[in-house]
Amino acid sequence: MSNLDRQPALSVCGGRGFVVAEPVRELLSPRTVQLGESTEVRRLLPNLGRRMVGAWAFVDHYGPDDIADEPGMQVAPHPHMGLQTVSWLHQGEVLHRDSLGSLQTVRPRELGLMTSGRAISHSEETPKSHSRFLHGAQLWVALPDAHRHVEPHFQHHADLPHVTAPGIDATVILGELDGATSPGSTYTPIVGADLSLTAGAETRLPLNPDFEYAVLAMSGEAHVDEVPVLPGSMLYLGCGRTELPLRATSDAAVMLLGGEPFEEEIVMFWNWIGRSNEEIQQARSDWMTGSRFGEVKGYDGAPIPAPELPAVPLKPRGRVR
């Protein structure tokens, strides 16, 4: 789960200043970003109008891409800190390697969850023998200050809990939904779920009014609170909702993302989440000198060098220095 932008922004996210305390319907348009040599993604978070949704701090949607004669996703080793990465596929396979020695192929509707904690590095690649299509989402969850220096670890869960009702099958990726709880480790009150809707389905999904929510459209034609949400776009819903009306005019799939508003302000740059400019500068130095983030063994290629930090230091909104 990677940000390969060679000129990434250094930005402050989080804090309750951007949280909408009431239900809204704010449609977010993506920007296109190249991920490696052959995969193009649509970036929904961070967005000019919306930085986070709960602890969800980064959301990319990609595909469906026909990679029958292509290498697919090829992302060389790169570092992370202060966050969790979530790999979620609808089609295809991604091979995960990391500096802990983990080696795992993640397949559709399986959870690949990497908690970077204080420091980790990993690579992602489409296996040489792979399915024709690649389609999925890649997401980050910001770790709160009390847990952002935990020991790094990787989890793979092939069997996840489901919530079903007429016309809907919800796979609980992270957190809890309608009494079903994912086995993935979480550090803030959060939910992530994959919702499969059949054509003609019309239902209401129970929500936590203390959470803020957004819905990412993956495929098909779905209406979220009567707003048509096209694949690759995301609808921000604010807080204060007890239920969410959903309607599908064709077979469709969306991802529900939500959580308690993230109170802390964080600094995001490239593949790191910290709390100050100085932390980001130190992370860059540690990656470029080969210390702290470890080594990914087995990937056929060199690690990705870190981009240069902006010449002008970030001006914080409040607590961040």
CB atoms closer than 10 angstroms to residue 79? 26
Maximum Cα interatomic distance, the chain, rounded to a whole number of Å: 56
Rounded CA gap, 106 and 128, in Å? 14
DSSP label at residue 280: H
- Residues 133 and 64: beta-carbon distance below 8 Å: yes
- Residue 96 CB contacts under 8 Å (≥ 6 apart), including other chains: 87, 102, 103, 104, 105, 106, 112, 114, 122, 123, 124, 154
Whole-number Å distance between alpha carbons of 195 and 209: 19
Judge whether 253 and 219 are in contact, CB under 8 Å: yes
Spatial CA neighbour of 184 closest among 148, 146, 157: 157
Per-residue pLDDT tens, the chain, 321 aa: give them: 455 555 566 666 766 667 888 999 999 989 888 766 667 899 999 987 788 999 999 999 999 999 999 999 999 999 999 999 999 999 999 999 999 999 999 999 999 999 999 999 999 999 999 999 999 999 999 999 999 999 999 999 999 999 999 999 999 999 999 999 999 999 999 999 999 999 999 999 999 999 999 999 999 999 999 999 999 999 999 999 999 999 999 999 999 999 999 999 999 999 999 999 999 999 999 999 988 999 999 999 999 999 999 876 555 554 332
Question: What Cα–Cα distance (Å) separates residue 268 from each residue in 87, 100, 106, 163, 274?
Answer: 20, 24, 26, 34, 6
